[in-house]
Amino acid sequence: MIELAPSILSADFARLGEQVRAACEGGASVIHVDIMDGHFVPNLTIGPPVVKSLRKVTDLPLDCHLMIDNPDEFIPRFADAGADWISVHQEVCRHLNRTLHLIKSHNCLAGVVINPATPVETLAEVLDIADYVLVMSVNPGFGGQKFIPSTLHKMRQLSEIRSQRRLNYRIEVDGGVALETVSDVVRAGAEILVAGHAVFGSGDPNKDDPRKNAEGLLKAATEAALVKV
Ligand code: DX5
Ligand code: ZN
């Protein structure tokens, strides 16, 4: 099943509740929340208080993507604030097995993320623990970047490994997902599609319609999934 996870990074934060509700009306079924610390990535975003506020405006799962150096310290706080899914970067976890179990111990789904330069092979020993694997299709840090096509083979690879090893993780993609790229990622095996600019627009008043944008993306994604079958 294909799911759309709008990234609030590109939303108008002064109208966050309204924008999240609009994306939800357009068919979004997960809300993607980008947490950045200014160390692991060259940008700063939000912390647990915003997750707590979001929790009050939507019943959809909150997918917290931690782009921070010390995720273990913050996992309990995001879980308490209302996160349902928490993902951590392979590149910062010295004890990835332990960190994924820590997420699960807080009753959240546990995800592991790989940057464009990180191979799928680095996840071999945790694929049976992860509930989902997030393939970054841009270098993390900013919304509105150009999709990197060379990351597609990692979605295919994850899909093949899942069948071969009879595992259950889901495959998520994040970065540059838009009408022009959505069919490629779906055909490569991505099932949870994160999209920021393509849902919330880029400050362009003509594109400021999250409901319509979400509907359009989901329609294109569903059509690509039908062709794939
Ligand atoms: C980038 C973030 C993404 C970002 C995606 O570091 O992880 O979630 O919001 O934005 P778009 O869809 O605009 O590339
Ligand atoms: Zn993200």
Q: What is the DSSP string of 144-167?
A: SPPP-GGGHHHHHHHHHHHHHHT-
CA 33 to ligand 1 centroid distance, Å: 9
For 82-108, the pLDDT digits (tens) are: 999 999 999 999 999 999 999 999 999
Ligand 1 pocket residue status of 6, Cβ below 6 Å = no
Ligand 1 pocket residue status of 89, Cβ below 6 Å = no
For tokens 């079924």, name the residue: 29
pLDDT at 67: 98
List the beta strands (DSSP E) in 20-175: 31-36, 62-67, 85-89, 109-114, 132-136, 170-174
Q: Look up the pTM and report it.
A: 0.98
Asked if 66 and 91 count as a contact pair (C-beta separation under 8 A), the reply is no
Q: Is the pLDDT of residue 228 over 80?
A: no
Ligand 1 pocket residue status of 172, Cβ below 6 Å = no
Q: Is the pLDDT of residue 208 over 90?
A: no
Mean pLDDT on 27-35: 98
Among 12, 34, 69, 131, the active-site one is 34
Q: Is the pLDDT of residue 206 over 80?
A: no
Count of helix runs (H) and strand runs (E) in the chain: 8, 8
Three-state secondary structure call for residue 206: helix
Mean pLDDT on 199-219: 89
CA distances from 201 to 23, 221, 225 (A): 12, 18, 24
pLDDT at 219: 97
Q: Is the dihedral of CA 158, 32, 80, 59 positive or negative?
A: negative
The number of residues making up the chain comes to: 229
φ, ψ of residue 138 in degrees (nearest 5):
-145, 165
pLDDT at 181: 98
Mean pLDDT on 35-57: 98
Q: Is the pLDDT of residue 175 over 80?
A: yes
C-alpha to C-alpha distance for 221 and 20, rounded to whole angstroms: 20
Three-state secondary structure call for residue 183: helix
Q: Is the pLDDT of residue 229 over 70?
A: no
Ligand 1 pocket residue status of 193, Cβ below 6 Å = no
- Give the number of the atom of ligand 1 that is nearest the alpha carbon of residue 36: 6
Three-state secondary structure call for residue 170: strand
CA 34 to ligand 2 centroid distance, Å: 5
